[in-house]
Amino acid sequence: MRFFTEYIRKQFPALSVKVNEYPAAYFDGPGGTQVPQRVIDAMVDCLAYSNANAGGKFLTSQRSDQVVKGAREALADFLGACSEEIAFGQNMTTLTYQLALALARNPGYRNEIIITEIDHEANRGPWLALEERGFTIREVKMEPETCTIDMKDYQDKLSDKTLVAAFNYASNCVGTISDVKEMIRLAHQAGAITVVDAVHYALHGPIDVRDLDVDYLLCSAYKFFGPHIGVFYGKKERFAELPAYRLRTQKSAVPHCIETGTHNHEGIAGAAEAVEFIADLGKYFGNLEEGSRALSVPEWSERRRRVVAGMEMMELHEKPLADKLLDGLSNIDQVRVYGPPSGHARTSTIAFTVDGITPDQVAAKLGEKGVFVWSGHFYAIRPVERLGLDQSGGLVRVGICPYNTAVEIDRLLEQIRTIVASS
Ligand SMILES: Cc1ncc(COP(=O)(O)O)c(C=O)c1O
């Protein structure tokens, strides 16, 4: 594991940043990870040598078309999809608005939409906006004690009137991983379309859209070492029928129908390189031997196998660090951790409060020592409200990434003990 960490860390220029002589420890990954040099290079290269609009009859335009085509293939390997099912957009939020508006276009008997209390606003606001078009939005409860979806409530809310069930794969606030495969199965049983927000989960485990059988799944490359660009997956047979709003000059076929305006080519180049970065982790460190999960689907491409193996390596790296942090926090009396119970599926994102000190104050004090964490609601304002923390400044959130180390966790815990002692 030491070689894995060294291999990763030397690729991130941002790790050389210092604050008051303290090396920066980036625990802000759920807000956006740092970017390896090779991703930066791919973006610069795109701007330098492939900078033209799409569809031209000359070299640089042909190159930029190749960049986009290659990136669809890379992101398809990332998600277990095929390349015509991958579209790019400004970010997950904007793509979700586009999707919601498109799905609401032909209202019929199915006029209910399911959202959840555990979700980020990006997977709530676009659906809530459909209320003004006559849709009824039904909100599934989160159990505050366990920070998990109330599955009975979910089943009760699904009906033959449900058009869409929208929920996250994992919570960017408290790290809970939901049983999305079962949620998708139940939604399909009721005849509903499923939309999964995989923005937080995408860094924390391999995604397999075929195995999930999800209809639409969205993520954002800046959460997995890429630039700020949204990634959209649409199951071909569903996506082909999506009445997306588009210009008459725009291609109507998938995946172009949802891609309004000119692409962010350099962002797309960076997203593809982020996938290559993860695939290389699988190639150099992952288990690609018999019995490995990376070989479980014979049709997978070599890159897809490496991606799965790379994701597994990242999980292997992060799990002991998350356990160490949870253990350390549980030994500080003034700290209260919020999240799923031990043994429940979770990401390495950990949220807590400190008695008598606001999350912003904790984050600011840590920031002075070069320890970067987020504080507040992280746009996951609904779960923060449900936890009763919206009036007290929300939570402190620590996200663990493959470039984090046990030494950094020790620094973080030591600083929290100092903050508590001096309060
Ligand atoms: C779980 C989750 N969903 C959605 C979003 C919004 O993504 P974007 O910034 O790409 O719109 C975020 C961003 O933090 C997130 O963490």
The SS3 assignment for 356 reads coil
Average pLDDT score over residue span 319-335: 98
Are 67 and 46 contacting, i.e. CB atoms less than 8 angstroms apart? yes
Amino acid present at 127? W
Encode pLDDT of 105-155 as tens digits. 987 899 999 999 999 999 999 999 999 999 999 999 999 999 999 999 999
Q: What is the pLDDT of residue 310?
A: 97
Average pLDDT score over residue span 156-175: 98
Are 230 and 258 contacting, i.e. CB atoms less than 8 angstroms apart? no
Q: What is the pLDDT of residue 106?
A: 83
Average pLDDT score over residue span 30-35: 98
For residue 3, name the pLDDT band (cuts at 50, 70, 90): confident
Dist. CA 206 → ligand 1 center (Å):
18
Average pLDDT score over residue span 250-262: 96
Mutate which of 33, 120, 216 to test ligand 1's pocket (most atoms within 8 Å of Cβ)? 120
Nearest-CA residue for atom 7 of ligand 1: 92
For residue 251, name the pLDDT band (cuts at 50, 70, 90): very high
Dist. CA 102 → ligand 1 center (Å):
20
- Which of the 8 DSSP states describes residue 73? H
Q: Tell me, using a 6 A CB cutoff, whether residue 33 lines ligand 1.
A: no
Dist. CA 93 → ligand 1 center (Å):
7
Nearest-CA residue for atom 2 of ligand 1: 199
Query: Which residues does residue 82 pair with via DSSP β-bridges, in sequence order?
Result: none
Are 156 and 183 contacting, i.e. CB atoms less than 8 angstroms apart? no
Mutate which of 199, 200, 374, 378 to test ligand 1's pocket (most atoms within 8 Å of Cβ)? 199
For residue 180, name the pLDDT band (cuts at 50, 70, 90): very high
Q: What is the pLDDT of residue 377?
A: 98
Are 136 and 113 contacting, i.e. CB atoms less than 8 angstroms apart? yes
* Beta strand ranges found along 27-185 (DSSP E): 86-89, 112-116, 136-140, 142-143, 148-149, 162-168
Q: Which of 380, 383, 408, 231 is nearest to 318 (CA)?
A: 408
Kindly report the average pLDDT of the chain as a whole number: 97
| C-alpha–C-alpha distance, residues 252 and 233, integer Å | 16
- Which of the 8 DSSP states describes residue 204? T
How do beta strands 22-23 and 142-143 pair? unpaired
| Ligand 1 atom nearest residue 200's Cα | 1
Q: What is the pLDDT of residue 266?
A: 98
Task: Examine the pLDDT at 405 and tell me if it is beyond 90.
Answer: yes
The SS3 assignment for 24 reads coil
Encode pLDDT of 372-394 as tens digits. 999 999 999 999 999 999 999 99
| Domains of the chain with bracketed CATH | 2-35+309-421 (3.90.1150.10), 41-275 (3.40.640.10)
Encode pLDDT of 262-305 as tens digits. 999 999 999 999 999 999 999 999 999 888 889 999 999 999 99
| Ligand 1 atom nearest residue 94's Cα | 11
- Higher pLDDT, residue 68 or 296: 68
Dist. CA 317 → ligand 1 center (Å):
24
Q: Tell me, using a 6 A CB cutoff, whether residue 206 lines ligand 1.
A: no
> Rounded to whole angstroms, what are the CA distances from 55 to 64, 87, 247, 330?
9, 17, 16, 57
